[in-house]
Amino acid sequence: MSASEHGGIAKRGDPAAASAGGSPPALARRHIRLSSHPGGTTKPVAIEWGAPDPKARGPVLGSVRDGSRRNVIGAHSGSYSLYRALAVAAGQLDPVHVPDLTDTAPAEPIGPYPQWAGSERIVSLDPFGHMVSEAFADEIAGGLDIRPTIAVTKAHLTVPEIKGAIEAGRLSPDGEVLTSNGDARVTKMAIEPVWYLPGIAARFGIGEAELRRALFEESGGMYTELVTRPDVKVFLPPVGGITVYGFGDVGAPAHAGGAVTCRVHDECNGSDVFGSDICTCRPYLTHGIEECIAAAQGGGTGFVVYNRKEGRALGEVTKFLVYNARKRQPGGDRAETYFERTECVAGVQDMRFQELMPDVLHWLGIRRIDRFVSMSDMKRDAIEAQGIAIGRQVPIPPDLVPDDAQVEITAKRAAGYYSDVGSPSSGELQETAGRSLTD
Ligand SMILES: [Zn+2]
């Protein structure tokens, strides 16, 4: 009998489900696994964060089946760990399943680079996360369920705006970076967050205990070990990760010192995927891809870093509430109140915390970004604060800004974002308005 024939989710310990010959009711046979206090004679596998050699650093062991050997708080796969829990609860996933990692190794080598060493430059991802099959082959053979937190593969991108750039004569297929039919060849890298809590706390200038307490309390007490296990320093937070799209030789910035073009883009599903015109996100993203292709064709490397930080990390519900508030306020949607309306709803203007963003640039071995495709002063300052130089900031070309997004771009210029045309006058700030909700 399948779970659906059984009338929905197979209950834990349900004898009908247990006797049906499906997956065993593994959860029913065990005590609840508590990890809130150290127990037994086995200790967590040691991690020396920042050690330059993966063997000395030690593996990030997040599998829940490894019990007291685990050396992290939380579980692998970020927010998807909760879908995994649902799959186990529904009897569809064997909780002791171990991934078969045959043929999953990176399609392109990344590092190791000198920036990976030390506990300050990289605190929000595991720099060895893509190399675990190789680096910890002995431990895996010995029975530890060590999982990659980074995967590196290859792809072609078919983007209408890039075909448009070819038609307009701004790009030309070269058969390498850009195929004859206008597809871009990329190396794409998926990165899950791995937080070294002392390093995260240091990055924000707060105490580790303070950070742990806020994470514990503000998640509704989701991870008890944050406050009961100060010996466990690594947290796998249930937040979105990063995807990097690399154009050209992705190892060149570290090895050959080649010119680097980079766009650090924070997710905006409405614009990026669906073409919503209230902001400049997709136009800026595709402009960044175009810049990266041009860089790679010129012998350099391009990187688009895509962070899952929807709606300034406030989430899409908050974002849509803000859109309504902006458009319904007396006087309509205006540049001069753009940031204020966000703060009224969310309590802050922005929760993306660019302080952690440069970690991925260190992971890629980048020391200098020659063309930084962004107007954001917060991103620029965060990158420079982490010791990566920025040559030129490249604003979005004015003709790519949708009409309804003039409110956003004018407000950002007024707030100090980089622009070729400088800050708007007070008259321009007052006069720049967007559509109403009903237009
Ligand atoms: Zn947007």
Q: How far is the CA of 281 from the centre of ligand 1 (A)?
A: 4
CA dist 272 to 218, 306, 376, 406, Å?
Answer: 30, 11, 18, 17
Q: Which of 126, 333, 350, 359 is catalytic?
A: 350
Across the range 296-309, mean pLDDT stands at: 97
- Between helix 406-414 and helix 338-346 the angle, nearest 10°, is 90
- Whole-number pLDDT of residue 309: 94
Could you give the CA distance from residue 351 to residue 19 in angstroms, rounded to a whole number? 50
Among 70, 312, 352, 413, which one carries the catalytic annotation?
352
* Residue 350: active-site member: yes
Question: What's the gap in Å between 338 CA and the centre of ligand 1?
Answer: 13
Q: Helical H runs in 330-376?
A: 338-346, 359-363
DSSP 399: G
- Can you read off the two tokens belonging to residue 155? 């792809």
Give residue-wise pLDDT tens across range 379-421.
999 999 999 999 999 998 888 888 888 888 888 888 888 888 8
Task: Compute the distance between CA of residue 390 and CA of residue 158 in angstroms, rounded to an integer.
Answer: 29
pLDDT score at 71: 96
Q: How far is the CA of 216 from the centre of ligand 1 (A)?
A: 30
- Convert the pLDDT of each residue in 305-363 to its tens digit: 999 999 898 999 999 999 999 999 998 888 888 888 889 899 988 888 899 999 999 99
CA–CA distances in Å: residue 334 to residues 97, 352, 419: 54, 23, 19
Residue 236's nearest CA partner among 227, 245, 246, 226 is: 226
Is 229 noted as a catalytic residue in this protein?
no
Q: Is the pLDDT of residue 2 over 50?
A: no
Which amino acid belongs to residue 340? Answer: E
| CA 358 to chain CA centroid, nearest Å | 11
Q: What is the pTM of this model?
A: 0.89
In the chain, what is the straight-line distance between the N-terminal and C-terminal CA atoms, in Å? 53
Cα(279) to centroid of ligand 1, in Å? 5
Give the residue-averaged pLDDT of 253-278.
92
* Ligand 1 centroid – CA 276 distance (Å): 8
pLDDT per residue as tens digits for the range 24-72: 455 555 677 777 776 667 889 999 999 999 999 999 999 888 788 999 9
